[in-house]
Every structure is written in structure tokens, then in C-alpha cells.
Chains A and B, each alone.
Chain A
């Protein structure tokens, strides 16, 4: 029902004809991004009376499933907050002619702008990153203290972490050691640490290699021996699911998620227990996965100049800094990453921001390459579906590897037909 309502809302919102000087934005929130953008938009409209910014807030699933259909029908919004670019990339509008200083954008957001480009040759600017995210484990430090177990060191491996959280869970009678968001992106973060390359030397995709298998076999085993909460991946089919509620309710010791949870950590847990963001476990690498949503512009926009003006306003360093502080997001702005965002966070929140930053600095080049691959989703989705089948005993791990490989090949073949 909620999906139907969301789809109807999205359809209604973006089917309305744009008026002169009106910008419609399809927005979803990880925390309070749409509300914060609405606040800033009011300020923009006060200074630019000829432009009306309308923000239509909707669930993430509506952006994933309904936006591509609306864009294909030529009924899309002017801007949308998008995190998986591949399915909507062909509708992107190059903002270069409409923004004041493309050089400033390149200098400030260059590392993330390339994710929105179809290939390395393309130099267009298609959107404004609304955050920079990095996957990281978050632990319930209180449970570690209660169990009298020390946090594993900065370079501890996934196996060491699994052993430690298992020990804590048993000592404190916590149901599970870990939970991972049901997401191929989160799995990739761990697999890259284990040495997964995701691409051949010539750049062609290769989802399953020895590093991938090393992580997959561990992950399935951990699900079967209750080190990892099985319900998140195996009991729920049908796509993404996060495990934040399990963490917030003290049912797991370690939660493999990322920096976008900061607002919820602050708001929902607060000082309910001591939580701590830790470094990504190290094996071959100590990598997580980067990511983040961007406001991308679409070429069917009737008001591209106004879109450019609004994004220029948001991209301006002081405004962008304020925006990041309002949303507790890590900036994708190179200068602000070095400091300069005046967050209003608790001591745990401030420590978390520092650790997210440190984890971002250790990201493997493979992680950036994978995040920038337009069909990364075609690798992530089969990973989740097939490993879930392996966890529930429907297929063997070897069958899962074969199926992931063929699913990726089928998806890329379908995409190649255009």
C-alpha cells in the first residue's frame, strides 16, 4: 500500500506541468535531507522571487522504481535526489551551460562528479552531490564493556571482528554478533577488503573472483552459525533492508552500515548506550564502499537556467557547509572535507564523523571504480538474491557464484541492446 501511495504521489507530483520559473525536485531522505533542503530553498526563493522551488518528498523505493519510468515517459521532475545513477543516467542534463563556475564545481566535487558520467571520456557536470558516504561498522561499545572484551585493533581482520563480536554476544546474551544491511553495496565493501576486484584488468566487469568468494563463504557461514543475524538477508526477500532497528534495540553487537546513519544514531540512540564507529576491517585492504546521493538534473527540464541557479546556490561553500551541518552528512566538497563544517553533534557524533573521514581516506581504488560503474546495481542485486538463496539452503555457494555471474552477464547483455 505504501508503495502504491508513494508511486501515486511521485506520479502526481512529477506529472504536474512545470510553470515558468518553477523547479520540481523529487527528494528522498536518509535523515532530514529534504527538510533541510526545503529550508535552504525558502532562503533561495526569498532572494530569487522569480523562481519557485517545489520539493516533493517520497520514499527511496519510489525514486528507485518509479522515477525511471516517469523519465522515460518524459514526465520527470527537474531534479531528483538519486543514489544509483545507472538506470537514469541517459536522462541527465549537463549543467555546465547553466552554472556560474564549472571550474569551482570540478575543484570542489570532482571526485564524485565522475560517478554521474557514463564513461571516463565524458566531462559533463550532471548533478550536485548532497553528501559523501562511506560504509563503516558501528559497534555497541556498552556491550563490549559489559563483556569485558576489548575492541579489536585498528587493523583487525573481518575474522577477528567476527570472533570478538561473537564472544561479546555470548557473554552478554545478545542474540547476534553482527547484522549487515541487506545490500550488495555493503557486501562489496567487505569483499573488497578481502581482495575482490569486481573488474578484470581490461575494465570489464567480473563480479565473482577469489576475494569475492572468500567473503561470500564467510558471510554465509556467519549467517548459518548465528554470528550474523540471518533474518535480515534470508527472511526478507524483495530487495534492500537495513538493520538499524536491530542495532538501536541492542540486539546486535556490530552493525555494518555507513555514515548516512549518523542522524538516526544521534536521534534514535542518543545516549541509550555507547555506540562507536570503528575502522573498516582489514584483510587485503581496509576498505569500505563510498557512495552518496546527488541532486541530478534532467534534460526534459523546462527551466534549466533556474535549475543551475538553485544548484549554484546550494553548492556555494558557506551554504553547502551549513547544509551538511543541518543534515549531519559528510561533505562531498573537497575543501570542507578537511574541516569547516560546524556540526552540532554529541561527542560520540563528533568521534563518528572523524572515523568516517578516516575510513573514507582508506577506500580502495576498486571501491571508487565499482561505485562509478553505471551498472553497479546489476552486480549488487544478484549478490543479495543469490547469497540469500545460499543462506536459506536453496542453492549451494558454488551455484550462487555461477548464478551471480550469469545474472550479471544477462543484465549487461540486456542493457547493451539499448
Chain B
């Protein structure tokens, strides 16, 4: 062993032994069970500072009013902000609500979640099933489906805006084939359709990957046994594939719902929430109310964000419960 090696080894040992003394001290001075806090302490500090404290501040903003930014200068208004957001004569008609934009956001978000998550899981499952077979160019197709996930949401939205605008690629192609172009982003229904489509295009690669790994974890011998029994393919899917894929499918559903409820960036760049409020979602309402209005209503924005957080918390707990159940 050369001198350099010995020196490097010595240094390595010294570095690795650095925690020895403080650890011995901690073990000697801290009672049983307290030592764990020492390990989770730094993480708790970061979590408290950047996650828990903002939640507390958000709650404070939600129960205070006015336009002052500094928490100490804001007058306490109790549940007034929540009451303002929830004041409606007919909850199904946003126009009957005191803050109609909030309710446009709520209903649009619900509609979006239903459509986007439903179709995305369907397409992801179908794609995963195809990619799980031995087909020509498998590597290429896997990469092609995953590629949009690597793009920034803003890039995704700009690409599609370029395609969908009045004089965009899609209309040019249609006109080239003697079809009439359409104002894709000017019509409320088309605009909503494209927000769902673009979102599915951008994210399905990620969910496909999860489902693909789930499919690959299913033991092959089950399929071989089914094959020997000449079980029809559809029956194999319903009796073997789907039940064994359920844990992955459950994760995909919950993650998909959480991501869909939070939709903002792609849609904000693609449509800006328009035409009118046709594609205004809840997070955009929060952003506009808190940061883009001439008179910024931080309290209302915070109250809306807490209501949104409630929905997300529900789905997160649902997922945790489901995962615990699956683990058992």
C-alpha cells in the first residue's frame, strides 16, 4: 500500500469517525427514545419552515381581510372570506354566486378532473398494455410516450398554442386537405377539450410508466397457466392482469386526481383561462385574486387555497389508507 493510499485511508477513517464523539455524548445524555429526534430534527426544521409555517400563515391570511401584505397589519375578519366565497343562491350556477369566478373555477376543475383523469388512465393503461408486449421498436415507443413528461409545462403549452392558434399548424394542415379550419381556442367547448387533451398528452407517459412497471411485476407463470388452459385474452385481462395491477392503478388514480386538481401552468399559458372563464381553474382563481388584481385580496385567495387544500388532503389520506391496506 502506497503512502498516498494510507493517507487517503486515514483521512476517510477520520471523517467517518467524526460523528463518533457527539453520538456517544448524545447516547449518554439523552434518554431512550429521544435520540430519534436528533436525527429527524433537521428535516423537521426544514419542513416546519417551508411547509408548516406557510400553512399557518395561509390560515392567518384566510381569516384576515384588507389588502395589506404583512400579516401583522391585516384586520381579523373571522370566516368572512369563506362566507364570501361560498355565498351563492344556486351552487350549480356560478353566475348566482357573489364570487362567480371562484365557482367557475370549482366547476371547471371538477369537470377537468373527471375527464382528464378518466381518459388519461384509460389511455395510459392501454399504452402500458401495448408496451408490455414484444413489439417492433419497443424502446422507441417507450421513449416517445415518455418524452412529453420531460418537457416543462410552459414549453408544452407554447408548442400546443402554436399548433392550435387560428393560423396555427393544425388549421394549416386542415386547410391543406380542403377542410375548414376552426377557432380552437376561441370556442369555449373546443378550448376546454384542448386543455384536457394537452394535459393528457403531457402527463400520460409518467402514469404509463407506473402501470408498465406494475404489469411487469405480475408473475409470468400465471399467464403461462392461463395459456395452457386456453383462457381467452379478455378473461386473462379481467381475472389476472387487472386484479394484480390494482395497487399500481390505485396510485395512478390518486396521483392523477391530485395533479389534475392543481392544474394551472399549462392552461394559463395555453388559454389564460379563456375564452371568458371557460378554462379558468381553481388555482388560476387563487393566483389572480392574490397576485394579479389591481386590488389584491390575499384573504380570499388564502381561503380559496385552504378549500383546495382540504380536497387534496382528502385524496392524500385516501391514498395513504389504500396503500396501507394494500401493504397488509
A: which residues have CB within 8 A of B? 1-2, 64-65, 68-69, 72-73, 84, 86-87, 230-231, 234-239, 375-378, 380-381, 385, 388-389, 391-395, 399, 403, 410-412, 414-415, 417-418
Chain A: minimal CB distance from B322 (Å): 34
Query: Which of chain B's residues have a CB closer than 8 A to the CB of A414?
Result: 65-67, 295, 297
The contact of A86 among B73, B268, B288, B294, by CB within 8 Å, is: B294
Q: Return the 9 tightest CB-CB contacts between A and B, nearest first.
A: A377-B294, A238-B272, A237-B274, A237-B273, A72-B69, A237-B272, A417-B66, A394-B276, A392-B275
Q: Tell yes or no: B319 within 8 A of A by CB.
A: no
Instruction: Say whether A236 contacts B293, CB under 8 Å.
Output: no
Query: Which of chain B's residues have a CB closer than 8 A to the CB of A410?
Result: 297
CA of A9 to CA of B288, assembled, Å: 21
The contact of B292 among A65, A230, A235, A388, by CB within 8 Å, is: A65
Instruction: Say whether B294 contacts A378, CB under 8 Å.
Output: yes
The chain A residue sitting closest to B100, CB to CB, is: A403
Prevailing SS type, chain A contact patch: helix
The chain B residue sitting closest to A251, CB to CB, is: B167
Instruction: Say whether A84 contacts B294, CB under 8 Å.
Output: yes
Instruction: Say whether B67 contacts A415, CB under 8 Å.
Output: yes
Instruction: Say whether A1 contacts B152, CB under 8 Å.
Output: yes
Chain A: minimal CB distance from B74 (Å): 9
Q: Tell yes or no: B68 within 8 A of A by CB.
A: yes
CA of A2 to CA of B166, assembled, Å: 23
Instruction: Say whether B276 contacts A234, CB under 8 Å.
Output: yes
Query: Which of chain A's residues have a CB closer than 8 A to the CB of B177?
Result: none
Query: Which of chain A's residues have a CB closer than 8 A to the CB of B296?
Result: 68, 87
CA of A84 to CA of B292, assembled, Å: 13
Q: Tell yes or no: B127 within 8 A of A by CB.
A: no
Q: Tell yes or no: B55 within 8 A of A by CB.
A: no
Instruction: Say whether B277 contacts A237, CB under 8 Å.
Output: yes
Instruction: Say whether A380 contacts B188, CB under 8 Å.
Output: no
The contact of B280 among A237, A375, A380, A381, by CB within 8 Å, is: A237
The contact of A415 among B183, B273, B280, B295, by CB within 8 Å, is: B295
Q: Tell yes or no: B125 within 8 A of A by CB.
A: no
Q: Tell yes or no: B155 within 8 A of A by CB.
A: yes
Most chain A beta carbons < 10 A, residue from B101, B271, B293: B293
Instruction: Say whether B294 contacts A234, CB under 8 Å.
Output: no
Instruction: Say whether B67 contacts A394, CB under 8 Å.
Output: no
Query: Which of chain B's residues have a CB closer than 8 A to the CB of A2?
Result: 154
Query: Are A65 and B183 CB-contacts (below 8 A) given A73-B69, A237-B275, A393-B276?
Result: no
Query: Which of chain A's residues have a CB closer than 8 A to the CB of B166?
Result: 231, 235
Query: Are A389 and B277 CB-contacts (below 8 A) given A65-B291, A417-B67, A418-B68?
Result: yes
Chain A: minimal CB distance from B301 (Å): 11
CA of A1 to CA of B293, assembled, Å: 20
CA of A376 to CA of B294, assembled, Å: 8
Q: Tell yes or no: B228 within 8 A of A by CB.
A: no
Instruction: Say whether B188 contacts A394, CB under 8 Å.
Output: yes
Instruction: Say whether A235 contacts B185, CB under 8 Å.
Output: yes
CA of A87 to CA of B101, assembled, Å: 22
Most chain B beta carbons < 10 A, residue from A64, A385, A393, A403: A385
CA of A73 to CA of B155, assembled, Å: 32
Chain A: minimal CB distance from B202 (Å): 14
Chain B: minimal CB distance from A376 (Å): 8
Instruction: Say whether A235 contacts B294, CB under 8 Å.
Output: no
- 19 A-B pairs besides A375-B295, A377-B295 with CB distance below 8 A are A64-B292, A73-B69, A87-B295, A230-B183, A231-B186, A234-B186, A234-B276, A235-B166, A237-B272, A237-B276, A238-B284, A378-B293, A381-B293, A388-B275, A392-B186, A414-B65, A414-B66, A415-B66, A418-B66
Q: Tell yes or no: B260 within 8 A of A by CB.
A: no
Chain B: minimal CB distance from A109 (Å): 24
Q: Tell yes or no: B95 within 8 A of A by CB.
A: yes
Can you report 5 residue pairs joining A to B where beta carbons are below 8 Å apart? A68-B69, A377-B294, A388-B276, A391-B275, A394-B188
Chain A: minimal CB distance from B69 (Å): 3
Task: Scan B33-49; emit 1 where CB is below 8 A from any A CB, else 0.
Answer: 00000000000000000
Q: Tell yes or no: B117 within 8 A of A by CB.
A: no
Most chain A beta carbons < 10 A, residue from B100, B152, B155, B276: B276
Chain A: minimal CB distance from B166 (Å): 6
Query: Are A392 and B273 CB-contacts (below 8 A) given A231-B166, A239-B292?
Result: no
The contact of A412 among B152, B280, B295, by CB within 8 Å, is: B295
Task: Scan B163-200; emit 1 where CB is below 8 A from any A CB, else 0.
Answer: 00110000000000000000101101000000000000
Chain A: minimal CB distance from B150 (Å): 14
Query: Which of chain B's residues have a CB closer than 8 A to the CB of A418?
Result: 66-68, 73, 75
Q: Tell yes or no: B278 within 8 A of A by CB.
A: yes
Task: Scan B216-249; emit 1 where CB is below 8 A from any A CB, else 0.
Answer: 0000000000000000000000000000000000
CA of A388 to CA of B274, assembled, Å: 8
CA of A382 to CA of B292, assembled, Å: 12
Query: Are A236 and B70 CB-contacts (below 8 A) given A1-B154, A414-B295, A417-B75?
Result: no
Instruction: Say whether B274 contacts A238, CB under 8 Å.
Output: yes
